[in-house]
Amino acid sequence: MNDDDPPLIHGYSRAEALNDGVLRDVTLTAREAGFRLPVAVTARVWGDYVAVPPLLGGTQDEAGRLWDICWMASVAVRSVPRHGPATDSITFQLYVQMAPQLRDLVTLRCCLGPGDNAEPVITIMTPDED
C-alpha cells in the first residue's frame, strides 16, 4: 500500500467467509476429483445446486451432487491449454437434477485467487458472484 491508496475501511478474509458460511470448504471432495489446491463453493452454489431439493429426497444426496460439480470443474480446469493466455477464471456447465423430471443446464465459474496469506485457492461460484 502506498500513500496514494485510499485507507482500507473494512476487510473480509476467506477464513471469515468460511466461518460465516458464505463459503463452504469442499477441499476433500475436490481432491478426489483431482484438485491439488484448497477449494470452496459459495453458499449460493451450495444452496442452489448441492443441497437436494425436497422433491428429490431419497433419490440423491449432497455428496453425489457435490462430486458432480467438483468433477466437472476439474475437467474444465484440465481442458485449459497450458501454453495459452493466462486466466484466473473459467466457466463450466453441468446438468443438475432439480425435480424428478427436470434437469437444468447450469453454468458455474471456477476462480483461482489468493487466500488470506496469498496462497493459491479456488472458489466455485455462479457467474454473477464475485
pLDDT at site 58: 84
Residue 5: per-residue pLDDT: 73
3-state secondary structure of 15: helix
* Residues 6 or more apart in contact with residue 126 via CB below 8 angstroms: 42, 44, 45, 48, 107, 108, 109
**pLDDT for res 82:** 78
Report the pLDDT value the prediction gives residue 12, as an integer from 0 to 100: 86
CA-based nearest residue to 109, from 47, 60, 44:
44
Following DSSP, what letter does each residue of 59-128 receive, concatenated? TB-HHHHHHHHHHHHHHHHHTS-TTS---SEEEEEEEEEEETTEEEEEEEEEEEEE-TTS-EEEEEE-TT
* pLDDT of res. 81: 78
Identify the pLDDT of residue 28: 98
Whether pTM > 0.85 for this model: the answer is yes
Which residues of the chain fall below pLDDT 50? none
